[in-house]
Amino acid sequence: MCRWMAWSGQPLIIEELLFKPPHGLVEQSLHSNMGVETTNGDGFGLGWYGDGEGPAIYRSIAPAWGDANLRELAAHVESSLFLAHIRATTGTAIQQTNCHPFRHGRWLFVHNGVVNGFHEMRRDLMLAVDPSLFPAIEGSTDSEVVFHLALSFGLDDDPIGAVERAIGFVEATAERHGVDNPVQASMGLSDGERLWAFRYSTEGRSRTLFSSSDAAAIRRLHPENERLQRLQDEDRVVVSEPLADLPGVWERIEESTVLVIQPGPDEHHPFRPRAPAQAAAI
Amino acid sequence: MCRWMAWSGQPLIIEELLFKPPHGLVEQSLHSNMGVETTNGDGFGLGWYGDGEGPAIYRSIAPAWGDANLRELAAHVESSLFLAHIRATTGTAIQQTNCHPFRHGRWLFVHNGVVNGFHEMRRDLMLAVDPSLFPAIEGSTDSEVVFHLALSFGLDDDPIGAVERAIGFVEATAERHGVDNPVQASMGLSDGERLWAFRYSTEGRSRTLFSSSDAAAIRRLHPENERLQRLQDEDRVVVSEPLADLPGVWERIEESTVLVIQPGPDEHHPFRPRAPAQAAAI
Amino acid sequence: MCRWMAWSGQPLIIEELLFKPPHGLVEQSLHSNMGVETTNGDGFGLGWYGDGEGPAIYRSIAPAWGDANLRELAAHVESSLFLAHIRATTGTAIQQTNCHPFRHGRWLFVHNGVVNGFHEMRRDLMLAVDPSLFPAIEGSTDSEVVFHLALSFGLDDDPIGAVERAIGFVEATAERHGVDNPVQASMGLSDGERLWAFRYSTEGRSRTLFSSSDAAAIRRLHPENERLQRLQDEDRVVVSEPLADLPGVWERIEESTVLVIQPGPDEHHPFRPRAPAQAAAI
Amino acid sequence: MCRWMAWSGQPLIIEELLFKPPHGLVEQSLHSNMGVETTNGDGFGLGWYGDGEGPAIYRSIAPAWGDANLRELAAHVESSLFLAHIRATTGTAIQQTNCHPFRHGRWLFVHNGVVNGFHEMRRDLMLAVDPSLFPAIEGSTDSEVVFHLALSFGLDDDPIGAVERAIGFVEATAERHGVDNPVQASMGLSDGERLWAFRYSTEGRSRTLFSSSDAAAIRRLHPENERLQRLQDEDRVVVSEPLADLPGVWERIEESTVLVIQPGPDEHHPFRPRAPAQAAAI
- Pairwise CB contact (< 8 Å): D93 & C138: yes
pLDDT of residue C122: 97
Each residue's pLDDT tens digit, A239-273:
999 988 888 899 999 999 999 999 999 999 999 99
Chain C residue whose CA is closest to B42: C66
pLDDT of residue A91: 86
Check: CB of residue B43 under 8 Å from CB of residue B121. Answer: no
Does residue A281 carry a pLDDT above 60? no
Residue type, B171: E
Instruction: Name the nearest CA neighbour of C112 among C35, C33, C166, C186.
Output: C186
pLDDT of residue B279: 56
Closest CB from C92, C93, C122 relative to D134: C122
Question: What does the mean pLDDT of chain B come to?
Answer: 94
| Chain C partners within 8 Å of A60 (Cβ) | 69
Q: What is the DSSP string of B168-188?
A: HHHHHHHHHHT-SS-EEEEEE
Separation in Å, CA A52 to CA A97, A105, C19, C74, C77: 22, 13, 14, 9, 7
Closest CB from A61, A63, A93 relative to D41: A63
Q: Chains that contact B by 3+ CB pairs under 8 Å?
A: A, C, D
Task: Please report the residues numbered 132 through 151 in chain A whose beta carbons come closer than 8 angstroms to any beta carbon of chain D.
Answer: none
pLDDT of residue C281: 45
Give the ipTM of the model, two decimals please: 0.94
The Cα–Cα gap between A200 and A205 comes to 8
CA–CA min distance D52, chain A (Å):
31
pLDDT of residue D38: 81
Which residue of B94, B98, B140 is the best one to mutate when testing the C interface, meaning the one whose CB has the most C CBs within 10 A?
Answer: B94
Least confident of B33-42, B118-127, D72-81: B33-42
Helix ranges (DSSP H) in A77-225: 118-127, 142-152, 159-177, 215-221
End-to-end CA, chain B:
30
CA–CA min distance B48, chain A (Å):
22
End-to-end CA, chain C:
30
CA–CA min distance C185, chain B (Å):
23
- Pairwise CB contact (< 8 Å): B38 & C41: no
Q: What is the mean pLDDT of residues B242-253?
A: 90
Does residue A162 carry a pLDDT above 80? yes
Q: What is the mean pLDDT of residues C243-259?
A: 93
pLDDT of residue B278: 65
| C95 touching D (Cβ < 8 Å) | yes
Sheet holding D102-104, edge to edge: D102-104, D107-115, D183-190, D195-201, D257-261, D267-270
Strands of D23-152, DSSP E: 44-49, 56-60, 78-87, 102-104, 107-115
End-to-end CA, chain D:
30
Task: Please report the residues numbered 53 through 72 in chain B whose beta carbons come closer than 8 angstroms to any beta carbon of chain C.
Answer: 61-63, 65-66, 68
Peptide bond into A101 cis (omega under 30): yes
On whether the pTM is more than 0.90, the answer is yes
Q: What is the mean pLDDT of residues C158-165?
A: 98
The Cα–Cα gap between C78 and C124 comes to 41
pLDDT of residue A47: 98
pLDDT of residue A279: 56
Instruction: Name the nearest CA neighbour of C118 among C147, C94, C142.
Output: C142
Instruction: Name the nearest CA neighbour of C46 among C7, C83, C86.
Output: C83
pLDDT of residue D1: 64
Give percent of chain B above pLDDT 90.
Answer: 85
Spans of chain D below 50 pLDDT: 280-282
Check: CB of residue D160 under 8 Å from CB of residue D271. Answer: yes
| Chain B partners within 8 Å of A139 (Cβ) | 140
pLDDT of residue D281: 45
Please state, as a whole number, how many other Cβ atoms lie within 10 Å of the Cβ of residue A34: 14
Fill in the DSSP letter of residue C208: P
Task: Please report the residues numbered 11 through 30 in chain D whose beta carbons come closer than 8 angstroms to any beta carbon of chain B.
Answer: 13, 15
- Pairwise CB contact (< 8 Å): B52 & D59: no
Instruction: Name the nearest CA neighbour of A107 among A191, A194, A47, A5.
Output: A191
Instruction: Name the nearest CA neighbour of C207 among C269, C140, C253, C161.
Output: C253
Beta bridge partners of B5: B84, B239
Which residue of D28, D37, D39 is the best one to mutate when testing the A interface, meaning the one whose CB has the most A CBs within 10 A?
Answer: D39
pLDDT of residue A278: 65
Each residue's pLDDT tens digit, D45-61:
999 999 999 999 999 99
CA–CA min distance D56, chain B (Å):
6
Q: What is the mean pLDDT of residues B229-242?
A: 94
Closest CB from B69, B78, B96 relative to D51: B78
Which residue of D89, D116, D123 is the best one to mutate when testing the C interface, meaning the one whose CB has the most C CBs within 10 A?
Answer: D123
Q: What is the mean pLDDT of residues B130-134?
A: 96
Chain C residue whose CA is closest to B30: C39
CA–CA min distance D207, chain A (Å):
22
Does residue B280 carry a pLDDT above 50? no
Closest CB from C31, C63, C93 relative to B63: C63
Each residue's pLDDT tens digit, A129-155:
999 999 999 999 999 999 999 999 999
Number of C/D CB contacts below 8 angstroms equals: 39
Does residue A282 carry a pLDDT above 80? no
Which residue of D28, D29, D42, D92 is the best one to mutate when testing the A interface, meaning the one whose CB has the most A CBs within 10 A?
Answer: D42
Each residue's pLDDT tens digit, B185-203:
999 999 999 999 999 999 9
pLDDT of residue D31: 85
Chain B residue whose CA is closest to C88: B66
Task: Please report the residues numbered 241 through 270 in chain D whose beta carbons come closer than 8 angstroms to any beta carbon of chain C.
Answer: none
Q: Chains that contact A by 3+ CB pairs under 8 Å?
A: B, C, D
In this structure, is the dihedral angle defined by the CA atoms of residues C69, C73, C74 and C76, taken in order, positive or negative? positive
Chain C residue whose CA is closest to D136: C119
Check: CB of residue A2 under 8 Å from CB of residue A87. Answer: yes
| Chain C partners within 8 Å of A75 (Cβ) | 52-53, 56
Q: What is the mean pLDDT of residues C135-154?
A: 97
Would you give the distance in Å from CA D28 to the centre of its chain?
Answer: 15
- Pairwise CB contact (< 8 Å): B76 & D56: yes
